[in-house]
């Protein structure tokens, strides 16, 4: 998860920021899926609170970032 998020940050800095934010959003969505499917002892740092609360927070962040990335209009240079 850290590697995917770091890759998203690098993409945002070097290339198009929208692609970087989408990559981070995908990493958060994948983290939510892993938290939902893995048992607590295997979830590691993804297990912070109760399972459904963790999944809800991660999924909400993923959706919010994705929607923001696609909804902000292009700015003229």
- Based on the structure, what is the number of domains in the chain? 1
pLDDT for residue 64: 97
pLDDT digits (tens, 9 = 90+) for 22-66: 999 999 999 999 999 988 888 888 888 889 999 999 999 999 999
> Residue 33 is part of which domain span?
2-71
Tell me whether residue 57 is in a domain: yes
Tell me whether residue 52 is in a domain: yes
Sequential DSSP letters for 3-72: HHHHHHHHHHHHS-HHHHHHHHHHHHHHHHHHHHHS-HHHHGGG-SS-HHHHHHHHHHHHHHHHHHHHHS
pTM (whole model) above 0.85: yes
Is the dihedral angle over the CA atoms 20, 25, 28, 34 positive or is it negative? negative
Tell me whether residue 76 is in a domain: no
Tell me whether residue 7 is in a domain: yes
Tell me whether residue 48 is in a domain: yes
Cβ(40)–Cβ(51) below 8 Å: yes
């Amino acid at each position: 998860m850290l590697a995917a998020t770091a890759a998203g940050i690098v993409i945002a800095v070097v290339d198009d920021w929208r692609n970087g934010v989408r990559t981070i959003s995908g990493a958060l969505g994948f983290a939510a899926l892993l938290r939902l499917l893995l048992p607590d002892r295997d979830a590691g740092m993804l297990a912070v609170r109760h399972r459904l609360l963790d999944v809800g927070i991660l999924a909400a962040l993923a959706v919010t970032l994705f929607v923001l990335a696609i909804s902000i209009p292009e700015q003229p240079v």
